Structure 1
Amino acid sequence: MYVKKLLSLFLIFGVGTSIFPETPTVNLSNLGETPIFLAKSMLVFEDQTLNLDWDKIQSETYKNKFQTFPSSEEAFNFSYSKSTFWLKVHISNPTEEEIHSNLVIAYPRIKTLDLYVKEKLGIKRIPSGYSVPVEKRPYQSRFFVFPLRFAKHSETELFLKVNSPNAINLPIQIWRQKFYDRHEIDDHVMQALYFGITIAMIIFNLFLFFILRDESYLLYVLVVFSIAITIAAYNGIASEYIWKNSPWLDQYAINLFISLVLILFLLFMRNLLQTKKILPKLDPINLVLIALQIILSIAYILSFDTFIRWLVISHSITSLWILIIGVMCSLKKQRIAYFFLLAFAFLFLALIVSTLRALGYIPTNVFTIEGPQYGSAAEMMLLAFALADRYNTIIREKEIAESKVKHNLERSNLDLEEKVKERTFKLNQTLSAMRRDLFVAKNIQENSIQVDPKLLKELKLVYRYLPVSEVGGDFFDIIRLQNANYRILIADATGHGVHAAMITMAIKGLYDPIKEFELKPNQILEIFNDEFMDNFVSLNSLLTAMILDINFNEKTIQFASAGHPAAVLLHDGQKELLTKTGRMIGLKKQTHYDLSFAKFHEGDRLFVFTDGVYEAFNSKNEEFGEENLHKFLMATKDLPLGQVEENLLQTLEHFQNGPDRQDDLTILGFDL
């Protein structure tokens, strides 16, 4: 806290501001479909005495003690503090309309969070925080939401009183009410998808446990269930739906559940990796860490303030130990350890990010808040693959043993065949379930790239998306920006199949939060590349991507390309290639991408595609090639778009003349 005070003083005097800065003003005329983040526009006063009320804060003694406070763009992070923090901001509505808005604090573990609205008509206090039952809050949500109305040509001061025994993180946003309602619906859909997949994984592996009687599946079910409960407590879903009136659980639950996750993970690791046999000298440390988590959890309940930091630090130490065991088992060439290590790496990264954010060492933003949920989802999927691989290994070993028994015991041939049939039947059941899961994954991926029918009509768009297998590594996204502006993203992850499909989900997860930013395509690509390097560099995957902004009023195309195949613009009987402006995504952080421009006229045609369109090989290993593709597009420029793309697919099929397609194929055609 002393460091934060010194930093605050440095910012006050170092940049030449006054000792008593005026309250910054937030202009609501700038409030559109996306929220305004208020952290940079708020002044802060820290009350270490805990005995100041509203009247004292408004007195001349304290009125000018509010100061600027270091924060990220999105949030304040006061870490663990016993102080009460007062924040204030000035809101101006210079417009001719009454603005209905929601003030949102997107972090569920704040005990006291009172809002004071100071207007000409008087003062209004709105209490909230997890100490207030959900039914009595101004807005029932997993976050803390205050519906506010700002009259036209009005000036309003907002004050927040904040106090909590948990880490105090304050992502403060103001939304237009109708856009927040839409955002909340999308958020609930994503949460339902996450917990729906989790429940499916639990039921599926519980089913395998009852069939195979392998306790690894039961431990996996317990790990997944505990992670789901932890995520529900972490992101406020549990407070909204499970324990609505339990401040004690809101205060204590998350760290207790993290301890439970780590205990179950240690037990699961000992069973799956057979550490007692593979690492006999190190295995006792696993038991010591299990005991440590139990002891610290009990001490944490008895004395929250004394042991909270120790418990949080023990989580990081235990996680690091699990990661070390995974590395050591991998070095011993234990096949299943590769899956385990990759799976836990996601969870470890998410836990470290969460811990560092709680301790105040890294800023609070969308990534550091939602990271644990994304990490847990990846971890659950990869552990499921590990168990599937273990199952296949067991089956292979048993089949070899059965073959030897069959060779040595000819007289038991009939009995052995019955056993093989029984095992084969069970295997087919399991494989059918896995195929259903893959079918679900295919539907999820197809739904993630579906285009709004209105956009199809407005853009005169015809597209084809053909993965090599059920799921693929191509991805595209189309949105409408303001006025007549449209933004198109197309990306292609290296490889194809399940691995590449998981990368496309990562692409969507990173791109969705930034795609509506009012930035140029090259700036969006630079942010995306840095986020990809921060989150997924360990996957050793690369991808090409291209973002195009089409303005139909000005008839211009702004674009930036990260090593992606050149798009083709046909106009006046000529072709223009929209070529790459920078290197592939995932090679290096802080990569610069140039911004390029192109003009078009009514009646022109634009094609954007992945390299699977022209990297088609025939039986002689000859490639179809970009040049042939460009000639084909020029030759068919007078045909309808749908006919062009259908003829192209037929041409490629005829060219290959037998061999299957080697890569995913995506092509988008626009009549401009």
Structure 2
Amino acid sequence: MLLPLWVSAQAVPVQAVGAGALDVSPALAVLEDVDGSLTLPEVLAADRAGRMVPRAGASQGLSLGFTRSAFWLRLEVRNPGAAVAHQLLEVSNARISHVSFFVPDDAGRYTETRTGGDLPFATRAVAHRHLVFPLQVAPQATQVVYLRVQSTIGLIVPVQLWARPDLDEHTHTDYMLHAWYYGMATAMLVFNLMLWVALRDRIYGYYVVFVGATALMLASKAGLASQYFWPGALVWSNFSYYTAASVGAAAFCLFTRRMLDTATVLPRVHRALQALAAVHLLAPLVYWFAITPVARYATLLFLLTVLAVTAVGAWCAFLRMRSGYYFLGAFGMLAVGSLVTTARSFGWLPTNAFTVNGFQLGSNLEMLLLAFALADRFNQMRREKHMAQRELVSTQQQLVETLRASEQELAQRVEERTRQLQVANERLEALSMVDGLTGIANRRHFDQVLHKEWTRLERAGQPLALVMLDVDWFKRYNDHFGHQAGDECLRAVAQAISGVSRASDLVARYGGEEFVIIAPGTDGPQALQMAQRACDAVRALGMPHPLAYEAVVTVSCGVAVTVPGPDDSLENLLGQADDALYEAKAQGRNRVVLAEPLGG
């Protein structure tokens, strides 16, 4: 209970504190420190000069709006009694970034207690979710205390004076109410999380994120997050508040799209809500670097989001959508609470129990109504599912009859189609083994045959020869004559190599301008002769190549021969042939080089 003090800028008598809190906001004298540089002695001098004056309409708290200025507040507390008065001064806004409390000692020297939402919880003079300072007033004396407040967000400073027993009782009741709210939020979150896991419907996931983010936002706003979640964190209170609000707003937009089926009903609004959700998800990056200048606009963005989504719900209700009625009722409550809280942040409404907790009250009602909405949606989906199942059974019966009537015809068609596919597959298999440009075997066919011959010759104990050929200076040829001429060159080389190979050999295009010959049962001298025949055959084509040393197209050959065994490998054979090919190029091209035998 708040007992208003109607006389401004006067000493507050301690005996005025009874069963509840005494709102001392009207008794506060205020001095604005625009650049935040004033010291206490300078403030005392300004006070003596009469520059500290009360603010009009300060009942239930000072609403100073979004400002970077620091404000100094003076409060006089008078004790006309015969005993020391032990009081507690409460600043009931846990999100004020910095609050300094100056109280004089017996010698008249002021001591400072510095705390605030951006400082660790351990700096609190009293372990409380709000900023509470102990105050002792000697008998028959007047105590003058000063507060310095500064914040990165909207600056609202509600100040009350309590007797300790009254504050303890109020705190107990207050925490019970918060426990009720967060208990209900947790129940809604867990229940819908289970539905999300069971049904795999994203709408329940969006609702879970929305409820969780909203609860975290309100916990940050109430000071509970700083007290219980991150008591040692710096500058986290306001950042967590705006971050949770943005994540909740994003989930809010995505939930709306799913709940109201805007993709079907309002396609443009559907895309707009998705864009708005993306803005909210990116907003925390801005908060981290510039929360002070954007806090005002963030608050307006939240308000715009609530109004926009409520308008969408109203339109769907106008279209007589069942989900629109629930949605409008639920988020209408949230919209009213948001409007009240936002108006209080800008100083448009006074600070009282309703305006302070407007969003929380709206959130409570919204959770309950949305729970009914989701339950109704689930029942509606179940009814639609049953109807669809009945239709499906009927359709299946008709389909069975149709299938029975045409079973024989379909079987014949399938058999015919199977034969056609077999023929096509055989053709494709053959085509897949041939290089499309040269008409000889491709790399895939080469790999298969090489592996097969290696295994066969290993059992037989016979040699396997591999010849690698590369067209000399082909890039120059291609650049000079063009790609079409280059293709014709490769085709001619492939035919020349094939013409000097045995029927048991395999000539393949290895890649680019490289060719290979697999010669099973061929020893070193035989393989060398075969490679030389291929080299001579290509040179004999006489294809002009003005950029080559021979002035005609030639090839270089690398030959490797081995008897496959457990100590050898295909990779070694390929490597030997490749090394021999590079040696042939190094020796001047248009020649054949035989690699050293494997293991030799």
Any conservation in 1 of the 2:316–2:324 contact (CA below 8 Å)? yes
Any conservation in 2 of the 1:46–1:85 contact (CA below 8 Å)? yes
Provide, for residues 249-272 of structure 1, a one-character-per-residue CA deviation record: whole Å limited to 9, x for no partner. 113222222111111011111111
Instruction: Indicate which of 61, 72, 75 corresponds to 2:61.
Output: 75
Deviates more, 1:350-359 or 1:161-170: 350-359
Any conservation in 1 of the 2:154–2:346 contact (CA below 8 Å)? yes
Provide, for residues 88-142 of structure 1, a one-character-per-residue CA deviation record: whole Å limited to 9, x for no partner. 1211111233322211111011122111123553223222212432113211111
Deviation at 1:362, TM superposition (A): 2.2
Deviation at 1:317, TM superposition (A): 1.5
1:255-294 aligned at under 5 Å gives the runs 255-294=242-281
CA 1:296–1:62: 2 relative to 1, 3 Å:
farther
Find the counterpart in structure 2 of residue 103 from structure 1: 89
Find the counterpart in structure 2 of residue 91 from structure 1: 77
In 2, Cα distance between equivalents of 1:410 and 1:34? 75
Any conservation in 1 of the 2:117–2:235 contact (CA below 8 Å)? no
Instruction: Indicate which of 142, 155, 162 corresponds to 2:142.
Output: 155
Identity %: 29
Any conservation in 1 of the 2:90–2:131 contact (CA below 8 Å)? yes
Find the counterpart in structure 2 of residue 346 from structure 1: 333
In 2, Cα distance between equivalents of 1:215 and 1:48? 49
Find the counterpart in structure 2 of residue 364 from structure 1: 351
CA 1:202–1:131: 2 relative to 1, 3 Å:
closer
What is the RMSD of the two structures over their aligned residues, measured on CA atoms?
Answer: 2.3
Deviation at 1:203, TM superposition (A): 1.3
The answer on 1:223 being equivalent to 2:214 is no
Find the counterpart in structure 1 of residue 157 from structure 2: 170
Any conservation in 2 of the 1:72–1:365 contact (CA below 8 Å)? no
The answer on 1:54 being equivalent to 2:40 is yes
Counterpart residue identity of residue 279, structure 1: L
In 2, Cα distance between equivalents of 1:394 and 1:98? 69
Instruction: Indicate which of 6, 14, 17 corresponds to 1:31.
Output: 17
* TM-score with structure 2 setting the length: 0.62
1:424-503 aligned at under 5 Å gives the runs none
Provide, for residues 539-559 of structure 1, a one-character-per-residue CA deviation record: whole Å limited to 9, x for no partner. xxxxxxxxxxxxxxxxxxxxx
In 1, Cα distance between equivalents of 2:294 and 2:43? 32
Any conservation in 2 of the 1:119–1:157 contact (CA below 8 Å)? no
In 1, Cα distance between equivalents of 2:232 and 2:214? 22
In 1, Cα distance between equivalents of 2:139 and 2:189? 53
Structure with the higher helix share, 1 or 2: 2
Provide, for residues 482-522 of structure 1, a one-character-per-residue CA deviation record: whole Å limited to 9, x for no partner. xxxxxxxxxxxxxxxxxxxxxxxxxxxxxxxxxxxxxxxxx
Any conservation in 2 of the 1:296–1:307 contact (CA below 8 Å)? no
Deviates more, 1:334-343 or 1:364-373: 364-373
Deviation at 1:385, TM superposition (A): 0.5
Any conservation in 1 of the 2:299–2:342 contact (CA below 8 Å)? yes
CA 1:93–1:390: 2 relative to 1, 3 Å:
same
Structure 1 residue runs without a partner (length 5+)? 1-20, 413-672
In 2, Cα distance between equivalents of 1:133 and 1:235? 15
1:580-619 aligned at under 5 Å gives the runs none
Highest Rg: 1 or 2?
A: 2
Deviation at 1:311, TM superposition (A): 1.9
In 2, Cα distance between equivalents of 1:125 and 1:346? 43
In 1, Cα distance between equivalents of 2:47 and 2:217? 44
CA 1:400–1:148: 2 relative to 1, 3 Å:
same
Find the counterpart in structure 2 of residue 549 from structure 1: none
Any conservation in 2 of the 1:297–1:311 contact (CA below 8 Å)? no
Any conservation in 2 of the 1:39–1:71 contact (CA below 8 Å)? no
CA 1:112–1:409: 2 relative to 1, 3 Å:
closer
The answer on 1:195 being equivalent to 2:185 is no
Find the counterpart in structure 1 of residue 219 from structure 2: 232
Instruction: Indicate which of 377, 380, 387 corresponds to 1:390.
Output: 377
Deviation at 1:208, TM superposition (A): 2.0
Deviation at 1:183, TM superposition (A): 0.7
Any conservation in 2 of the 1:25–1:90 contact (CA below 8 Å)? yes
Counterpart residue identity of residue 255, structure 2: F
Find the counterpart in structure 1 of residue 406 from structure 2: none
SS in 2 for 1:59: helix
Find the counterpart in structure 2 of residue 44 from structure 1: 30
1:283-322 aligned at under 5 Å gives the runs 283-322=270-309
In 2, Cα distance between equivalents of 1:329 and 1:61? 59
CA 1:194–1:326: 2 relative to 1, 3 Å:
same
